[in-house]
Structure formats: structure tokens, C-alpha cells
Structure 1
Amino acid sequence: MAAASAGLLGAALPSPQPLGIGDPLFPQLGNPGYDVLAYDIAFTYPGDNSKPLDALTKIDARATDRLDRLNLDFTHGTVRAVEVDGRPAEFAVSGEDLVIEPSRAVAPGERFRVAVTHTSDPAGPKNTGGWVRTGDGLAMANQADAAHRVFPGNDHPADKAYFTFRVTAPKDLTVVANGELVARALSGDTRTWTYRGARPMATELAQVSIGRSTVVRRTGPHGLPVRDVVPSADADRLEPWLKRTPDHLEWMERKVGRYPFETYGLLVADADTGFELETQTLSLFERSLFTRGTLPEWYVESIMVHELAHHWFGNSVSPHRWSDLWLNEGHATWYEALYAEETAKQPLERRMHQAYLDSDRWRAAGGPPAAPRPPAAGQKISLFRPVVYDGSALVLYALRQEIGKAAFERLERRWVDQYAHGTASTDDFVRLASEEAGRDLTAFMKGWLYGEHTPKMPGHPDWRSKAPAKGSTKAPAPSAKR
């Protein structure tokens, strides 16, 4: 929990309170009244991943309302000072919000800058999100609502912004972050690395890796720089997997169009996270996915494609609300399954039939795809249930069955093109699908997205979904994919 070390806010305003933007799954996530344009975040890593990092987060924003006070999401660090437009500001902590009172109100439409001097603490319960302590340093896993365990900000994908990271670490360590390396400077026993992203990013997709790593470089389609970050001791062992990424990129581009970012690669971490994660331009993978030796090759490759597909579906086109998560995970699962069918003879229809059998049980346990139940208290990753993976890919399969393969493929390309580097909602998808189909699909999609029971599958009138056991609403374990 963030701890304020300066005076409390003045008594003229109501007492500080945590705010939110009204997300039904995360009511206090995000903050009203402003739009973040850019983050510039500096971390100083002490060389010990159990100790807090010193940090300075600068936020460039534009007010959408008059701001006598503004909130940032932040927890699990100590706030030492806050400035707004270069002037000291009073601040206090309420729940998981840092509440700031500038020396003068910010007018609607006015740009302003907030600078927060703070610590960023990697210690804490395992798998709660934020910093991940690896065998040789740190990485980040901020989905869904854990970026504010690392730095203060507007921690909701509806408010995407440009990011710059400046990380100072002992000179024998390697630092990699989202985007591209723009500067590196040695000073005594430390080195400062500066990375900048060329496209806006949701806070949950931020990534900084610090460790004894090797950066392996190669070239993807039309000269795309591909860089993988791996534990140095494992570079040779992992190369047979890493070299497949350019082919994965080419395959995805044939399906939906050009890769939407300036670089791509895998970050292979020496950590047991229990999941893989599509952090922007640098997807996070557990080392054991590639080294345990018990998983079929086709399965591992399909997971690699799953995280890559998110760069179109989830990273470039981000969810407007967390209940739109099915658009991220359903699409990533769809292309994961399609890749397995086309390259490893794993029939898509067979997988979708099995998902149909399980669909009613998944809906009973976790809600329908576009209206998932909130995550269990203290278990935020429980949001990532089968219904938002195969259960949501099943929605896409039903849509393809209904409108035909050619229209479906046109829709997919239009979706990632029309909403590139922005946010979009379930309603936006249904509207675009209707346009592509040439008829209103609202009623058809309503049952698939919001129905308590799974509708009849077009083209498969014999398919049946197994009814949930009476009184059974226990949610399945969260998925290992994100």
C-alpha cells in the first residue's frame, strides 16, 4: 500500500476517496477527469530483486473536466513527493489511489504534468501481479489490474498512452523494455537504458526486464526487427524455438494484415508464473514452457502464436471495458487453434465441438463470454476462465458459420485496421460484423455473447452442450494463457 510522506490534503475539499471509471468488473480501476497522453518512468534497480526500486513517474495528461483534485491508481510503494506542473502538490492515499491536490485547479482541456517520486516494491505474495521476481532479476506481469503495483497511473486499458522507460541497473545486467532502445549510457558501475514505444499502450501491457540476459536478434517480415530476451545460460537451448517467430509473424500477417508494432520478440523468464502474457512488443513466457520437454511441439508453437495474435487483438485494439476481454482472448485462442489445424493437423472443428459440449457449464460457472462474473475476491486472475478462451473462440466459430468464411475473414481484417491503436467494445464488433454480413446480427450475437445457455450452432444442429451439475457454479481454474 502506498504511504504518503507529506501533508494531507486541505480541509476545503471532501476527504480523499478512491475513484474509478465505472468498469463493472473493476469498479475502482481507472480515474475520471483526464486523459493520459504519455508516461516517462525512471527506475533505479539496486541489484537485489527483494528490495524496492527508487522511481520517478512523470505523466503528461490533458484534463477533460475541471480538476481541483485528481486520482492516480497506485499501491505497494511509498510516495515521497508529488509535483503538478513543477509545483509541489499535497497528496494522500485512499485505498489503492494516490489522491493529489494541485496548488491550482486544472481547467478542462488544459494539459498538465504530474511527477511522482516513489518506490516500486517487488516484494509481496507470489503471483499477485506487478513485478515478477525471476532467477536473475525482474520482469513485469501487470494484467489485469496490477500495473499500479509498479507505478502510479490511470490503470485501465481505456486510457492508452505513449511510454518511455529509463532504467538504471548494475552494468553487468541487461535491461529490455517495451518498444525500442533509444539510448544507453554507462556511469561508473551502473548503466542507464532508455526505451520508447512508437505506439500507445495500455498500462497492463507494460514490460521491463532486468537480468543476466542475452538479446538475440533476427529479422521478420519486411525487415521487422525481432529481438528475443533469454537467460544467457539458455540461449543455445532456446534457439530452436526462437527461430520460429518470423514464420509465426508471416502466418498471422496472411490472416489479418501487417504486424502493428515496431518490433516483436519473446521474453523468456526464469520464473514460475503459471501463465504466458502478451506484454506489448515483448511477450512474456515461462522458461519451463520450452524446457520441460513433456509438451507436444505443436502445442508450444500454438501458445507462441496465441501471444503473438494478441498484438492485433488486445494490444493494438484494446478492450473498452474489461467485460470486452472475450475479444482479446477469444481471438487469440481462435488463431492458436487455427494455426494448430493448419500446421499440425489438429482439427479446429473437433476443438470447437468440445468447447460446445462444455459451453453451458462454463457459462454457469463464470458467466457468458461478454458478461463475465467479477473475479473472486483477492484472486484477480480468476477472471481468465475457459469461457473467455475456448468459450469465446466458439462465438467466433458460430459467427463464421453464420456469415461464411469469406465475410468472416474480411471482418477480421477490418476490425484490426479500423480500430488499430485504439480501444473498441463488444458493441463495436457486433456493429462491424453486421456491416460485413449485410444484415443486422444483433439478435444472433446477443445469444452467443450474453445468453445463459449456448445457442444452436449454425451448420451443426446435432451439437449439444452438457448441462451444468445442479447447483454447480464453481469457477474453473484460471487459464495458463493470457
Structure 2
Amino acid sequence: MDQRTPVRRTARAAALVLLVLTTSTGCTGGVEGRPGAAGLRDPYFPKLGNGGYDVTHYDLALDVDPAAHRLRGTATITARATQDLSAFDLDLVGLTVESATVDGRPAAVNRAGQELTLRPDAASRLRRGSTFRTVVRYSGSPRTLTDPDGSQEGWLRTADGSVALGEPTGSMAWFPGNNHPSDKASYDIAVTVPEGLTAVSNGELASRRTSGGTTTYRWHTGEPMASYLATVAIGRFDTKESTTADGIKVFTAADTTVAADSARILARVPEVVKWEAERFGPYPFSATGAIVERSGDAGYALETQNRPFFHGPPDAGLLVHEMAHQWFGDSVTPDSWRDMWLNEGFATYAEWLWEADKNDRPVQGRFDAAFEDDDNWAFPPADPPTAADISQAPVYGRGAMVIHRIRQAVDDDKRFFALVRGWTKAHRHGNASTADFTAYVEKTTGQDLTELWNTWLYGRSRPASKD
């Protein structure tokens, strides 16, 4: 009907009734708005994350009994509504929710798989743009999850405690949240453990206090962090604290059984941070360090923010790789899991650069070896076929080849590293996609690099020549 056509009074009345029903009775308890989406439709993990709000801060208080494999937690989540909300979801697996409030008022709780749906009471008004606080109290035995590629994450038991690893989905095994890399927040994490054990997490150690047979460690992460980068490691550790010449606080923790073997490489953390800062731009966080567990406690290393996790003492190449993620992945975080090659390609290329600088092994030689490796041509790094493939060889090796081809296209090392530093500055503490990156490179270089992207980033077969 044309907007200029007169509307009869009965039609107006019907429309008014419909409006009232939609805004009042359409939501339980008379809360206005609509439910936030259950899942952000990530290309590989469509149920991860939730719509309708943006988390700004997590305050997690955990009481952990490793021997009994029990956790009791309180998650206080501060968020901003991005729409008028009648209900919203958090991601949580396995643990029992004992209570939930929104802005101090009890909220109705519903569980369905990994979705925890909270519906505020009638007095709540979660308007678009408003800030609200959710408190969830929960407990239970946190689960170890199995990834599509067969690796384990979530809450893992160790020989003398436990460790929480979250890439790509595991954080929902130990705290409720908006579990997608596109929603970053600051964190305070307090962990209470039996006296004699140490609890290590992200950021700066704010305090430790022992009382009544337990010790509480409080950690603060002021810069935004994606949920998959949050960690807690509990056990018997040899810890060391220091401060770099640039004022960055260093905290390293090594399981007592591997502390001696780890000491020399962990002492190089400040050296690696300084070396990478010269190439990638200022270190993006106030704290750095590492966590080293026994080799049997997990099957992989992970770039947990401020404090990468290692399964056994790492060599220099692995340390360089995980520390490079502090720029690529932790500070500049992918928009979705399809963009993971931006993390791994740059971190792998950092290894190549280190080898060239420290061991006189030319980057071109590493590029040539990667080109000849059939595994790197299984699929395009920017388009893995399934969730099981996002951590496979092309994302790493061929991702690094893409970076080297950009360097060759620029044909000037000074301009190339200025481009890299510009990228980490432009998206510092934010999110970026592959499209953001390719557009940035073309704008910065003034070149049309369509052929480079089509061949190296999206091409489905190895070109006839690496030149």
C-alpha cells in the first residue's frame, strides 16, 4: 500500500494492537526487545559466540580443587547491549549453573547444549547502548573437549594440577562468556587453590594471599583479550619475576620437573620481545612471560595472551613463534576462524626471520622448502575446507609464503617492515579479517596484488614456478 493512501481507523487500531503485543506480551515477563542470537555463524563454529551484546569485562573468581577435579566459580560479566534485549545467551559446557542475576535481579536460566540462555525479569530494561552486569554462579567438574582435529582443550588435568586452554572453543569449559574471537574484553581472574600450589593466568599478578590452607592469586589483564586466549595453569611451578628495560613485567612459570631444562630459554623472553618489537612494532601489552608444563600434560603450545603455554621446554624457534602471536592473533585478533592464517602465517614468518638473523639461514631458503612441501598445497590458507583444517600445514607454511611474496612485491625491506608495523598499529587490540589485510596491503603499497592473492592465498594448486 502506498504510504500516502489514507488508512482506515480499523486498520490503525489493528496495527496498534499488534504493536502492543509485539513489544509487551511477545517477551516473557514483559521485557521489551528481542532475544540475542544464539551463535555468530562463524564459518567453522557457527554456534560459538552470541549476538545482542558486547562484553567489556570479565571478573572471574574460581575456587579449584585439582585433586577432586572440582571447580566453583563466579563470573561477573559487564557488557553493552547492541540491541534491545529480552534475553541473551552465554557459551558454557558441562558445569552446573546455581544462580544468575542481571543488574542484581534474578534471571531465568535455560540450558541447551553449550547455550546458556538468561532471561531478565520484568523490571529489567536492557536497551540498546546500555551497560549491564550479569553474575553467574556455577560449579562442577570442568570438561576436557576434543577439537575437530582430534586435539584436546578446555580443562586438562596435569600431573600435579590442571591447565585451561581455549583455542578454538575450550574456554566455555571453565567460564560462561561470549566465546568468539570477535568479542574481546579486559579480565580479572582470581584463582584459589590449596596452599603449596601456584595458579598462573594472563596479565599482571595483582596479589597473592594465603589463608586457612588456601592461596588466592589475582591476575589482571587490562588490554582487550579474546576468550580463547584466557588461561589458568595450576600446579607446582618454579616462578621468576622481572621487568624489562621498557617497563614490561615478565612472569615465567615452569613445572618444577622441567624448570632446570627451561631456565635458559625462558631467560631469553625479553630478548625475543625486543627483537620482535623492532620488526613488528611496540609490544602491545604490559606483561609478558611463559608457562612451561611437562611434555605429557598437553600435546601442543598455545599463544595464551601475555604468557604463552608450552608442553615441555621450547626451543628458540617455538618461543619466537608463540611470542610473535602476541602481535598477530592476540593484539590483532581475527574476525573469524577463517582468518586464522593471519595468526599462523605471520608467526611462522617470524621464525624464518629469526633464523635468518640469528643463524644465517636465508628466508628465501625457508620459502623454497615450504614451496616444495606438498602438505602446504592441500588447500588455500584463507579457505580451509573444514574446522579440522584450520590448524593444518597450509595455514602455517603457505601463510608464511604469502607474507614473503608481499615482501618480494614491495621489494624494499624498509618499506615492508614499515607496512607490517603499520598493520599492527592500525588494528592494535582489535579484530581484522583477510579482506581487511589485503585491502590494507594494496592501499599501503599502491599496487594491485590480485594475482598474488589468487595464486598464493586462494589458489587451489601449486603454481608452476615459485618465482
Q: How far apart, in 2, do the equivalents of 1:326 and 1:442 lie?
A: 18
Which structure 2 residues correspond to residues 256-267 of structure 1 after superposition, within 5 A? Answer: 256-267=280-291
> Of the candidates 216, 234, 237, which is equivalent to residue 192 of structure 1?
216
SS in 2 for 1:117: strand
Paired position in structure 1 for 2:42: 23
Q: CA deviation at 1:45?
A: 1.0
Q: How far apart, in 1, do the equivalents of 2:140 and 2:306 lie?
A: 23
Letter in 1 for 2:162: L
> Of the candidates 62, 70, 95, which is equivalent to residue 43 of structure 1?
62
Paired position in structure 2 for 1:93: 111
Structure 1 unaligned regions, length at least 5: 1-8, 291-299, 377-381, 462-482
- Residue 427 in structure 1 maps to residue 442 in structure 2: no
Paired position in structure 2 for 1:172: 196
Q: Is the alpha carbon distance of 1:105 and 1:374 closer, same or farther for their aligned partners in structure 2, counting shifts above 3 Å?
A: farther
Q: CA deviation at 1:11?
A: 10
Structure 2 unaligned regions, length at least 5: 1-26
Paired position in structure 1 for 2:317: 302
Paired position in structure 1 for 2:87: 69
Q: CA deviation at 1:223?
A: 3.2
Letter in 1 for 2:137: T
Q: CA deviation at 1:265?
A: 0.7
Paired position in structure 2 for 1:335: 350
Paired position in structure 2 for 1:32: 51
Contact 2:237 / 2:255 at 8 angstroms: preserved in 1? yes
Paired position in structure 2 for 1:402: 409
How large is the RMSD of aligned CA atoms in angstroms?
Answer: 2.3
- Residue 385 in structure 1 maps to residue 388 in structure 2: no
Q: CA deviation at 1:132?
A: 2.1
Q: Is the alpha carbon distance of 1:211 and 1:156 closer, same or farther for their aligned partners in structure 2, counting shifts above 3 Å?
A: same
Contact 1:434 / 1:442 at 8 angstroms: preserved in 2? no
- Residue 283 in structure 1 maps to residue 312 in structure 2: no
- Residue 415 in structure 1 maps to residue 435 in structure 2: no
Contact 1:18 / 1:95 at 8 angstroms: preserved in 2? no
Contact 1:430 / 1:442 at 8 angstroms: preserved in 2? no
Q: CA deviation at 1:306?
A: 0.1
1:189-212 deviations in Å (ceiling 9; x for gaps): 112221111201000000112111
1:57-85 deviations in Å (ceiling 9; x for gaps): 11100100111110111112111111111
Q: CA deviation at 1:263?
A: 1.1
Contact 1:213 / 1:229 at 8 angstroms: preserved in 2? yes
Q: How far apart, in 2, do the equivalents of 1:250 and 1:435 lie?
A: 29
1:222-256 deviations in Å (ceiling 9; x for gaps): 23221110123443332122112222112112212
TM-score computed with the length of structure 1 as normaliser = 0.84
SS in 1 for 2:291: strand
1:328-381 deviations in Å (ceiling 9; x for gaps): 00000000111112212333222211222236x5444xx3111112224xxxxx
Paired position in structure 1 for 2:17: none
Higher CA-based Rg: 2
Contact 2:145 / 2:154 at 8 angstroms: preserved in 1? no
1:111-158 deviations in Å (ceiling 9; x for gaps): 111111112534546743111222111122100111111111000110
- Residue 370 in structure 1 maps to residue 372 in structure 2: no
User: Aligned residues: percent identity?
Assistant: 37
Q: How far apart, in 2, do the equivalents of 1:455 and 1:32 lie?
A: 41
